Every structure is written in structure tokens, then in C-alpha cells.
Amino acid sequence: MRGEPRTLIDKLWDSHAIVRRESGDTLLFIDRHLLHEGSFHAFEQLKRRGGKVARPDLSFAVADHYVPTRGRSAPIADPAIARMVELIGTNARERGILLFGLDDPRQGIVHVTMPEQGLTLPGLTLVCGDSHTSTHGAFGAYAFGIGASEVAHVLMTQAIWQKKPKRMRVRVEGKISPGIGAKDIALTIIAKIGADGAQGHAVEYAGAAVRALSMEGRMTLCNLSIEAGARNGLVAPDETTFAYLEGRPFAPQGEAWVRAIDDWSKLASDADAAFDREVTLAAEEITPTVTWGTSPEQALPIDAAIPDPASVADPARAAAINDAIAYMGLRPGMKLTAIAIDRVFIGSCTNARIEDLRAAAAVLAGRRAKVPGLVSPGSSAVKRQAEEEGLDRIFREAGLEFADAGCSMCVGINGDLVPPGERCASTTNRNFKGRQGPRARTHLMSPAMAAAAAVTGHLADMRELVKGRI
């Protein structure tokens, strides 16, 4: 292997391989294991086996999926939800795992707060029982979601069996137009390659437009890798990464920091390293993009219209379009900007970082929303910063609710649901049937686009609302 040009993916794989089998299965060492309320199945398995947590010092827990976003000073009303939040606390305490609980200033969505704390670093492997763990790849970490049985496995061994994925590089060349965000890039990629287009692949994002993204933008991009079916997504670490990490609480300090920068600078893919697949996009062609259907691949530029299944030759594809149109309550040929919405949600591990809230606030400032909406910051730290910057006031004056941090209306299991039949402009990651609640209809978009939908009452092009503002 040494001497051969290697990709970032190869370098991370090689530096964590404990055992390699002839079949290609590799036992990888895990540097960070992140846990949340949903990990209770794994703790149950652990208990059943009489197992021990191998490395509590590398395990970190947070309450995010089930936490209330309002009225936190009062006890949680729903006993089943209260039990979930209690359970992660009990399990963490019993196993000696550091927990960012409901009252901790570090509480937040696992994929927002752990990077903020400096727990996500370049050159690490990181797993969590959540598919959006791909987010952490933004730092040049090898990060992927796993199921409950694998969580139990990592708890007991601090390692995991993996087959090496194929390597894919997605380059976004050129310069993104003002107001276009990482969400628009990601939805454009998913629409191009399909919701299973990257299955079996690790994806490295590269090109000038990716390099120009902030860490927040890179996290949004890597977060949505899973919606293209990828195992994980990565961006090579650079000065942007190092500047974000320096001085964060759990990031290396002193001599370790100097050594880290030196090592991390060597992680980038070698110039002549080979990828199994390459996809290239021109940044200039990326426009504000929204989903219209029930799969993230059903995404279109805002000036487009709902497709007509009658003009699709493949019967399976036509059936899928028909089915999505029926569920979403739309008509073939309808302009996207003619779709009226019932509410907006700005939040989730995809788009609830400070930069996202600023982008939404830039559209909302001095305007009123025509529909109700909820803003749930990605972490308690993001919430505090938004308040310092006065963004909370902009949201409230626009008529939106500014709440506490958690997964909230992205998945609805804390009780923040889109009512049946309602249509939500949402900055989240999944427009699946029933994702935000039974019969809820979801349109995915960037925070600026969700804000534009809020002030117009329908899907709208944010570019027309930010002239002279950004």
C-alpha cells in the first residue's frame, strides 16, 4: 500500500485497520463513539450479555432526539418520552460515559454539539447510531452511522467490522452564486445521481466551491451524503478546518495541537490517487433547489415545474412520480412557486448552525411570516450565539417561534409534529412519507429558502428577497 498514491479515504482506512481478512472485511478502531436516547436498544443488548463498555473515555452521550424544545423548566409531560431522556442519563452514568444532558450548556443535536466541542477531529474514525453521522466527515474524519447491534458491538470492543467502500469523488468547480448554500449543492447532487446513487461508496467532496465553504457548509454537505445512499462523506482538512477547531474544549492543545496540524495536513488525497467514480458539477449552474416529492432525489430548481409522469417512459419511474404527486397533493406541470405552504421549520442536524440561522434571518429581518413556524437551533450554544446577535428577535418579530435545541420537527419524536395533511417548508434532510408526522408533506430546502417561503406563504426564490441584503 505504501508508496502508492492514496485518497483521503484510503489514508483514514489504513490508519485504523486492526485486522484485515482475506474476504476484505476489516476490523477498524473507533476513536469516538457518540450516543443518544435511541441507543437504549444497544445498552439493553449490553446488559443482556453482561458486557462492559471497553472505552468510556472515547464515548460521549447527549440528549437530542426526544428532548422538548419548549418549556424545559417543567417536567416532560409524556411519560414515554420522559423515560427516553432519563434512560440515556442512567445508562451514561452507570457506564461512566460523559453526558451532555438536558440542562447541560453543551446540550444540542449530536452532529452539531460534538463538533462545537472539538470532539470531532480530522483523522479520526467516528460512529453513532444515527445515519446523519456522515456530518462529521466535514472535518476529514471517517464518520458513519450504524445500527443498534453495531452500537453494542462498538461499546464492547471499540472497533467495528467494515468492508471497504468504493471511493467516489464529487467535485464542485467554480464559484457559488451569492445566497446559494451547501443545501442547494447537496440537493443538486442527489437529484443528479439518485437517492441510491452513492450506495456502497465513500464520497470525498472536492473542488473550489467546496473549499470555499465554511465548516458549517461542509457539515451540511457531508450530512446529506446518506441521502444519496453513501456510506459517508468527507472533505479534506485545511486552514478552514484548523481555524474552526483551534481552542475548542476537547481539541488538542499545546504540543499535541502542533503535531496534529502537521499530521492533518498530510491527509488530503494524493494528487494522482485514483477514485472508483468521479462526478463533476459546475457551481455556477447551481440555483436554489427544493424537493417536491417523497424522496430527496425528487429535487428541482425553484423555477421548475412538477414533472408529468405521462412523459416518463419507464413504468416503475412513472409509478414513483405518480405516487409522490398523490401523497404531496400536487398536479403535474404545476410551477413550484405556486405551491402554498402551511408552516415552516428551521432546524435539524442539516441546517441549524449559526450560519444557517443568519441566512434565514437575513431574509426575515423586517418582514412578517404568513404562516406559523418553528426555529430550533442546533445546539444550546448556537441558541446563545443567536441571542447575542439578536437573531432571536428577528425570528420572533417575523412571527416565528424561537425554541430550544434538539432534533425537534425533523423526525417529530419529541412531539414537534407537522399535523396530518399540512405542508411544511423544512430545512431538514428527509421528505419521506410520514417523516415529520403521519400524512405530513415535507419540502426540503435551505434556511434562506424556508425563510422566503415563510414570508411569501408559498415556495419562493430567496434571491428576489435578499437583493441589497447579502
Partner 1 sequence: MRPFGLLDTIACPLPFANLDTDQILPARFLKRPRREGYGGFLLHDLRFGADGEDVSSLSLDDPRYGGAEAIVARRNFGSGSSREGAVYALADFGIRCVIAPSFGDIFAQNCTMNGLLVVSLTEAQIEELLASPEIVGAKPIRIDLEAQRIMCGDASYAFDIDPLRKTKLLNGWDDIDITLTHAADIARFVAADARERPWALPHRPQGAA
**276 touches partner 1 (CB under 8 A):** no
Kindly write out the interface string for residues 91-110 of this chain, putting x where it contacts partner 1 by CB under 8 A and - elsewhere.
-------x------------
22, 21, 20, 46: which is closest to 33 by C-alpha? 46
Residue 446: Cβ within 10 Å count: 29
Residue 49 belongs to what H/E stretch? helix 40-49
Whole-angstrom distance, CA of residue 381 vs CA of residue 267: 30
- For cell 428577535, what's the residue? 393
Q: Which of 53, 102, 110, 124 binds partner 1 (CB under 8 A)?
A: 124
Number of helices (H) and strands (E) in the chain: give both, helices first: 15, 19
Window of 68-76, 129-137, 205-213, 304-312 that interacts with partner 1 by CB under 8 A: 129-137
**199 touches partner 1 (CB under 8 A):** yes
Q: Give CA angle at 357 (141, 369), nearest 5°.
A: 145
Q: Which of 219, 328, 413, 455 binds partner 1 (CB under 8 A)?
A: 413
- Smallest separation, CB 383 to partner 1 (Å): 21
Q: Which of 68, 108, 123, 140 binds partner 1 (CB under 8 A)?
A: 123
Q: Which of 68, 108, 129, 179 binds partner 1 (CB under 8 A)?
A: 129
**66 touches partner 1 (CB under 8 A):** yes
**412 touches partner 1 (CB under 8 A):** yes
Residue 325 belongs to what H/E stretch? helix 315-328
Residue type, 165: P
- Smallest separation, CB 167 to partner 1 (Å): 15
425, 426, 361, 417: which is closest to 392 by C-alpha? 361
The secondary structure of the chain in percent helix, strand, coil, rounded to multiples of 5, reads 40, 20, 45
Output 25 or 303, the one with its CB closest to partner 1.
25
In this structure, what C-alpha cell is assigned to residue 319? 409509478
- Smallest separation, CB 451 to partner 1 (Å): 26
160, 64, 150, 53: which is closest to 107 by C-alpha? 64
Counted residue by residue, the chain has a size of: 470
- Smallest separation, CB 154 to partner 1 (Å): 10
- Smallest separation, CB 32 to partner 1 (Å): 8
Output 173 or 323, the one with its CB closest to partner 1.
323
Residues in region 158-197 near partner 1 by CB under 8 A:
158-159, 161, 163, 195-196
Residues in region 238-267 near partner 1 by CB under 8 A:
249-253, 256-257, 259-260, 263
Three-class SS state of 375: strand
Asked if 9 and 142 count as a contact pair (C-beta separation under 8 A), the reply is yes
Say how many residues touch partner 1, by CB under 8 A. Answer: 81
Residues in region 12-51 near partner 1 by CB under 8 A:
15, 18-19, 21, 23-25, 27, 29, 31-32, 38, 41, 44, 49, 51
Output 19 or 243, the one with its CB closest to partner 1.
19
Residues in region 70-89 near partner 1 by CB under 8 A:
80-81, 83-84
First and final CA of the chain: distance in angstroms? Answer: 48
Residue 282 belongs to what H/E stretch? strand 277-282
Kindly write out the interface string for residues 334-373 of this chain, putting x where it contacts partner 1 by CB under 8 A and - elsewhere.
----------------------------------------
Q: Which of 71, 329, 372, 438 binds partner 1 (CB under 8 A)?
A: 438
360, 355, 386: which is closest to 373 by C-alpha? 360
